[in-house]
Amino acid sequence: MTDPATPKTRDQAAARRVLDENYPFKCCAVCGLQIETCLTVAHLDHDATNNTPDNLARLCQTHHWMYDAGLYPIEAIRLLQAHWQTTKGTPDHSGRMKDAGAKAALTRKRRAAARKAVDTRRRRAKLDH
Ligand SMILES: [Zn+2]
pLDDT reported for residue 98:
65
pLDDT reported for residue 47:
95
Residue 100 in this model has a pLDDT that exceeds 80: no
Say how many Å lie between the CA of residue 63 and the centre of ligand 1: 5
Say how many Å lie between the CA of residue 5 and the centre of ligand 1: 33
Say how many Å lie between the CA of residue 75 and the centre of ligand 1: 16
Place 93 in a pLDDT band, splitting at 50, 70 and 90.
confident
Say how many Å lie between the CA of residue 65 and the centre of ligand 1: 10
Say how many Å lie between the CA of residue 8 and the centre of ligand 1: 29
> Using CA atoms, how far apart are residues 3 and 9, in angstroms rounded to an integer?
8
Average pLDDT over residues 80-98: 87
* Per-residue pLDDT tens over the stretch 26-85: 999 999 999 999 999 999 999 999 999 999 999 999 999 999 999 999 999 999 999 999
pTM given for the model: 0.68
Query: 11 φ, ψ to 5°?
Result: -135, 90
Residue 63: Cβ within 10 Å count: 23
Task: Compute CA distances 78 → 15, 83, 84, whole Å.
Answer: 16, 9, 10
Which distant-in-sequence residues (6+ apart) come within 8 Å of 43 by Cβ?
Answer: 15, 50, 51, 55, 56
**Domain limits, the chain:** 12-87, 98-129
Residue 92 in this model has a pLDDT that exceeds 90: no
Q: Which residue has the higher pLDDT, 87 or 6?
A: 87
Say how many Å lie between the CA of residue 39 and the centre of ligand 1: 8
Grouping H, G, I as helix, E, B as strand and the rest as coil, residue 43 is strand
Of all residues in the chain, what percent carry a pLDDT higher than 70? 88
Say how many Å lie between the CA of residue 103 and the centre of ligand 1: 32
Q: Can you name the residues that pair with 56 across neighbouring β-strands? A: 43
Say how many Å lie between the CA of residue 64 and the centre of ligand 1: 7
